[in-house]
Amino acid sequence: MAARSLRVVSFLNQFFGQLGGEEKAGVGPQVMDGAVGAARAVQQALGDAGTVVATVICGDNHAAEQADRAIPELVALVAAARPDLLVAGPAFLAGRYGVACGALCAAVQAELKIATVTGMHRENPGVELYRRRVYTVETGAEATRMLAEVNRLVALGLKLARGEAVGTPAAEGYFARGVTRNVVAGASAAERAVSMLLDKLAGRPFVSEVPRPAFPPVPAPRLVKTLEGATIALVTDGGLVPRGNPDAIEALNATRYGAYSIEGKSSLDAAQYDNPHRGYDTTWVKQDPHRLVPVDVARELEQSGAIGKLHETIYSTVGVATTLAHSARMGREIAEKLREAGVDAVILTST
Amino acid sequence: MTPVAVMVGANRIVSAAGIIHPLGSADLSPDEEKALRRRIVEQALQALRTEVAKPTVFTRE
């Protein structure tokens, strides 16, 4: 090995930095020379390849509660040690610690252009928050196999710091970052699909090449009021917009939604509306917008007292080839506005 | 499209009248069409009052 010995900084929480347990979780960012606490495992894994020049430590509560201040302070401590590589954690299943590791690695990469690696259990919230930006090695829930797992972190970290090629998530043991890389496969797609099908039929293990997005379960809220006292809003992903599409909602792959007043309207006049949605034949909805957004019957139900109130704003977007990330963001934004307006429930009509 | 709604985790799903006109039907007379729409909206209101623990499809009677 002719490679030069690398300077490495290890980031730990108060527990793995041997400052103390929960009673020390409030301690702020600090730095110690050399390898302290669990950083000794990092040094052991590095061998001659590098030296832990400093151990940076921050209490879990401090990092979680004052992240806006703590992360920049930690970045400054890392910068002062002039490392080639930051190894954060591993955090195992410790949530505050995992989030701090991810946040620090992301900030160090972005601001200092220094390679980083962290490690944690797949259910650590730090995984979902940072795996797309930070190489995060999968570990167990507890520190029982600390040395073996630190070895994997360090092996990946050395590749990153040296600018060497990094293998697939499965080969290197890190969480997929959502990056697509072109590779030359040994067989055509048809051959691979048939062989996968044969494996499936024979009950043999197989791995899909197209992972499906995971949809975390959303708890179903209860309607706390009676319908007679509730404000109901109408929302649609079927693309209804006022004529002229004032918000320029895209015909597919939408990133925008519109909020349109129905104040004073007992029904929707087809001449005043349009529909840019390119995922279904909108002829019938353009003829009569109520086929998508039932303002007419909702007004009748409001007048008869079956519902307390119809919310005076309808929200609309185009749901076709819309990315999960934009859908989730738009849903969150619309839900926040509805909640601020005192809406109790939503009927979302979808095509 | 109700299987998609179940897959993505929508909790209260009312099966409606079709993709091109979920709350209507060009084959019906205007009065019949509005009555159909009212039934679907009333069923949605009923679904809102129903406690569910997982994605649940309310089918049209």
Reported ipTM: the value is 0.96
What local confidence, expressed as pLDDT, does residue B61 receive? 62
B16 three-class SS: coil
User: The tokens of A241 are what?
Assistant: 């917009």
* Mean pLDDT, range A226-243, rounded to an integer: 97
Residues B26, A294: C-beta atoms closer than 8 Å: no
Residues with Cβ within 8 Å of A183's Cβ and at least 6 positions away in sequence, in order, are none
The predicted-structure confidence for A63-78, as pLDDT tens digits, reads as follows: 998 999 999 999 999 9
* Mean pLDDT, range A115-139, rounded to an integer: 95
Chain A interface, mutation test: which of B37, B41, B56, B57, most A Cβ atoms within 10 Å?
A: B41
pLDDT at A248 over 50: yes
Query: How many domains does chain B divide into?
Result: 1
What local confidence, expressed as pLDDT, does residue A205 receive? 94
Contacts of A350 in chain B (CB under 8 A): 1, 5, 22
Distances (CA, A) of A114 to A32, A117, A118, A199, A332: 20, 10, 13, 43, 34
The predicted-structure confidence for A203-217, as pLDDT tens digits, reads as follows: 999 988 887 777 878
Residues with Cβ within 8 Å of A346's Cβ and at least 6 positions away in sequence, in order, are A232, A233, A234, A235, A338
* Mean pLDDT, range A18-32, rounded to an integer: 94
pLDDT at A1 over 50: no
The predicted-structure confidence for A263-298, as pLDDT tens digits, reads as follows: 999 999 999 999 999 999 999 999 999 999 999 999
> What are the structural domains of chain A?
6-172 (3.40.50.2300), 227-349 (no CATH)
* Percent of chain A whose predicted confidence (pLDDT) is above 70: 99
What local confidence, expressed as pLDDT, does residue A178 receive? 87
Contacts of A290 in chain B (CB under 8 A): 23-24, 34, 37
What local confidence, expressed as pLDDT, does residue A139 receive? 96
* Mean pLDDT, range A127-131, rounded to an integer: 92
Q: What is the pTM of this model?
A: 0.61
Which chain A residue has the Cα nearest residue B43? A347
First-to-last alpha carbon distance for chain B, in angstroms, is 18
B29 shares contact with chain A (CB less than 8 Å) = no
Distance of CA A137 to the CA centre of its chain: 17
Residues B20, A288: C-beta atoms closer than 8 Å: no
Nearest-CA distance from A238 to chain B in Å? 9
Q: Could you tell me if residue A264 is left (phi over 0), alpha (psi between -120 and 50 degrees) or otherwise beta?
A: left
Q: For chain A, give the mean pLDDT.
A: 94
What local confidence, expressed as pLDDT, does residue A208 receive? 86
Nearest-CA distance from B8 to chain A in Å? 6
Q: Assign B1 a pLDDT band (cuts: 50, 70, 90).
A: confident
Q: Assign A101 a pLDDT band (cuts: 50, 70, 90).
A: very high
How far apart are the C-alpha atoms of A225 and A278, rounded to whole Å? 38
Using DSSP bridges, classify how beta strands A313-317 and B56-58 pair: parallel, antiparallel or unpaired.
unpaired
Q: Assign A3 a pLDDT band (cuts: 50, 70, 90).
A: low
Residue range(s) defining the domain that contains residue B38: 2-58
* Mean pLDDT, range A150-157, rounded to an integer: 97
